[in-house]
Amino acid sequence: MSTIQHLINGDLVSGSDRTADVFNPSTGQAIHKVPLASRATMQQAIDAAKAAFPAWRNTPPAKRAQVMFRFKQLLEQNEARIAQLISEEHGKTLEDAAGELKRGIENVEYACAAPEVLKGEYTRNVGPNIDAWSDFQPLGVVAGITPFNFPAMVPLWMYPLAIACGNCFILKPSERDPSSTLYIAQLMHEAGLPNGVLNVVHGDKEAVDALIEAPEVKALSFVGSTPIAEYIYSEGTKRGKRVQALGGAKNHAVLMPDADLDNAVSALMGAAYGSCGERCMAISVAVCVGDQVADALVAKLIPQVKALKIGAGTSCGLDMGPLVTGQARDKVAGYVDDGVKAGAKLVVDGRGLVVPGNEEGFFLGGCLFDNVTPEMRIYKEEIFGPVLCVVRVNSLEEAMQLINDHEYGNGTCIFTRDGEAARLFCDEIEVGMVGVNVPLPVPVAYHSFGGWKRSLFGDLHAYGPDGVRFYTRRKAITQRWPQRASHEASQFAFPSL
């Protein structure tokens, strides 16, 4: 069994006595060991990033962009290899893994625009012989802590833009599926990135706390569960760091009586069961306005959920692979048990699924609940698995109140042909990302990603324009060059034009 290594200052290093197993979730077998960094190992990475920062911050943005252009090309050339690594350790299908990588590459493309997004602003003659301008300058050493469900895409939300802005970056990826993340970072070095600018350190809470507590680390980006997001935000900000911490979700899809139901069903199938539901943007609740809509929706969903093609993620032509670990599968199955006990109607039961040839894999079939009510645990909590809950309401206003009352506000969508209803929904819903007949409204790279309420801790969203603002700080400069030497009397009033 091979051992995955850290990437520090351009070198692969072991640096840890503690290790964890990395599983192939399709087989249930451990395939790698991953080191869990000590504080000393993390400090090595911090020191390397700090040492690399002065030269990198003074590298012209156009030259930083050239690295990103080469990096993008290498990612595209190695798509099949990266998708294979993702599928082997996460379990998602090869097609889903390739799609994840493509969305990550979009963020590299945005980082290629560094000379444009870092231009700053200039005004001549804001006063007599006085010019003013602003610069967007890097913070220094910054860090990212990323989740298992998108081992390629979410790191690419963070470090390409942070590095293009002139920072040096330390990435702490998920220890559950680290191989693709490490491989992609190696491609960044192959693209010409100087040693120390990007470091990858594997670990658990000890590594995370080392990043939080290190005074050299000026900013932290995080994607994961809400309790950990809140912890990182609280501990980081009280130490004076910038923090953007993206947390959990419970995403609702509202189906109006005039919805194109066939297209809505197709959209819901992919949004609820794609990637085995292990997405923070997965639709996990379908809110039907009226019993007629709910009855028709459930009738159309049942045969499609039962017909999901499920198998080893590395096989082709599948709809779903396994969940990432046995513990994750058992946790989701426990939610299904709880929903049945609470009185929800389980119309499709995916528990106990066995995939021939992969009997030890971490598989769970698609599950569908009807008659779910807001007080049930399966409604309130993020399940993070292939479970869709149908809730019945009598009006759009009732549906919107349901969503606005929920503690999470990550993503939502509405299926309708009514422009007035869609406009009301977009205006009044208290959620950060909204789709109209779009089930997964993940913003493109030149916008920004982030939820509201307890789905995001921090003032700035991830990637796009907000990412530039997060990874830089503005410096305003006011400069005067008098046209001729002259003596002026002191002014004691606050200066003005």
Eight-state DSSP code of residue 276: G
Sequence-ordered list of residues with C-beta below 8 angstroms from that of 313, at least 6 positions apart, any chain: 25, 26, 87, 88, 90, 91, 92, 93, 94, 96, 97, 321, 322
What is the β-pairing status of strands 283-289 and 251-255?
Answer: parallel
Terminal Cα-to-Cα distance of the chain (whole angstroms): 72
Q: Residue 289 — φ and ψ, nearest 5°?
A: -90, 95
434-439 CB contacts, 8 Å cutoff, 24+ apart: 435/411, 437/260, 437/263, 437/264, 437/267, 437/413, 438/267, 438/413, 439/253, 439/267, 439/268, 439/270, 439/271, 439/283, 439/413
Catalytic, out of 280, 367, 389, 413: 280
CB neighbour burial string for 343-381, b if at least 16 within 10 angstroms, e if fewer: ebebbbbbeebebeebeebbbbbbbbbbbbeeebebbee
For residues 88 and 24, is the Cβ–Cβ distance under 8 A?
yes
Question: Rounded to 10 degrees, what is the CA torsion of 356, 361, 364, 365?
Answer: -30
**Residue recorded with tokens 């501990």:** 235
Q: How far apart are CA 7 and CA 198, in angstroms?
A: 8
Q: Residue 477 — φ and ψ, nearest 5°?
A: -120, 130
Give the sheet arrangement for strand 283-289, strand by strand. Answer: 345-348, 367-370, 387-393, 283-289, 251-255, 411-415, 433-436
Comparing C-alpha atoms, which of 44, 14, 11, 471 is closest to residue 195? 11
Burial level of 234, CB count in 10 A (0-12/13-18/19+)?
A: middle
Helix (H) or strand (E) holding 145: strand 141-145
Strands (E) across 256-372 are located at 283-289, 345-348, 367-370
Q: Residue 306 — φ and ψ, nearest 5°?
A: -65, -25
Eight-state DSSP code of residue 261: H
Comparing C-alpha atoms, which of 96, 407, 99, 403 is closest to residue 229? 407
Q: Is 367 a catalytic residue?
A: no
Q: How far apart are CA 384 and CA 331, in angstroms?
A: 9
94 in helix, strand or coil? helix
Catalytic positions: 280
